[in-house]
Amino acid sequence: MLGHLGDKVGRKTVLLLTMIMMGLASGAIGLLPTYEQIGVAAPLLLVLCRQLQGFAVGGEWGGAVLLTAEHAPVHRRGFLVAIGQSGLATGGLLSTIAMALVALLPQEQLFSWGWRPPFLVSFLLLALGLYMRLKVSESPVFRELAARPRPERVPLLVLLRTPGRLGRGIAAALPSTLATSLFGTYLISYAAGVGYARPTILTSLCIAWAAAIVSLPLFGALSDRIGRRPVFLGGAAAMALGVYPSFPLVGTGSALGLAAVMTFFFAGSTNACVSALAPLLSEMLGVDTGVVWIVAGAAAVAVVGAVVVWRMGDTAGSSLHDDLPEPAPPAVEAH
């Protein structure tokens, strides 16, 4: 819906809407009553806030990327779009620092009130973000398109009539999307599970995010110089080769190894793909269906995942011991 709206009324309008939704939902989490105060309504309100955050992100990335791409000169498009995307890494760094600071509190204070201030800061960030975005003009490409007489079209339907472009876009987005989930979520849980202390994990994350802020514009500039495809392919190849030794290295318990793995994927292979992907999609899909791609792409990936899981059947309640190999028969002693 947000993608369709962005193609119909403009990128700036949607970006203002997504920022308001994200800022209010994030700040509201810091104000939520506890389960002891309002019972089951507390987790339901939390889920509602998280849903609003996810809805806002769905329109934020596509709109921000396309607005930047449409403002940028052709020869610097990759670099400027990557600078915009480095906001994600900056947010990751700031949120990790905030987490590290509140984690210094005694556990009782952390779980009673200490977790709230990072969310409440969202109200201040919302005010700052709105001030900055109100000063951004609508993209010249979209203004030119809107001024032209043209038949009424539904952007999502236009995109769906070209399934080849949609499929290529989804396939190109999969490596960075999967890597973000694998190394941004699972790797952290894995590191905690094998015994890394919380400060070590947070420090490694800070190093990786800081490096990512720098690497994104560098990869973006490189894609302007040598092309989107070589940068993307290099990142994808590095990701494919690096994933195999990464978990054994983290499993050694080395703090340096953990920081190296996180930095390699956050600031290296994944960012190479992301920096090339954003301008690539804008250039491939064009102004009339650019924003709506992110919604259609996410929906398609979700449907594919749902179908696969549905065909697998439900595994709840199954025993993990069933797949263990049969014990070897006892050795027969010779007499």
Give per-residue pLDDT as tens, 291-319.
445 444 444 444 554 554 455 554 444 44
**287 residue type, one letter:** V
- Which two three-digit tokens encode residue 115? 């977790």
Domain 2-139+154-310 has CATH 3.40.50.880: no
Task: Give 155-183 pLDDT, tens digit per residue.
Answer: 666 666 666 766 777 777 778 777 877 77
Distance CA 334, CA 234 (A): 61
CB 271 within 8 A of CB 216: yes
Residues across the chain: 335
Alpha helices of the chain — where are they, by DSSP H? 2-9, 11-29, 35-38, 41-71, 77-102, 107-109, 117-134, 140-147, 155-160, 163-181, 187-193, 198-226, 228-251, 255-263, 270-285, 290-312
For CA atoms 152, 155, 160, 161, the dihedral sign is positive
Specify the range with the lowest mean pLDDT, choosing from 11-15, 152-156, 279-283, 325-329. 325-329
For CA atoms 300, 212, 251, 235, the dihedral sign is positive
Task: Give 226-276 pLDDT, tens digit per residue.
Answer: 888 889 888 888 888 888 888 889 989 899 999 999 999 888 888 888 888
Distance CA 211, CA 263 (A): 7
Scored b (16 or more CB within 10 A) or e, 220-250 reads bbbbbeeebeebbebbbebbeebbeebeebb
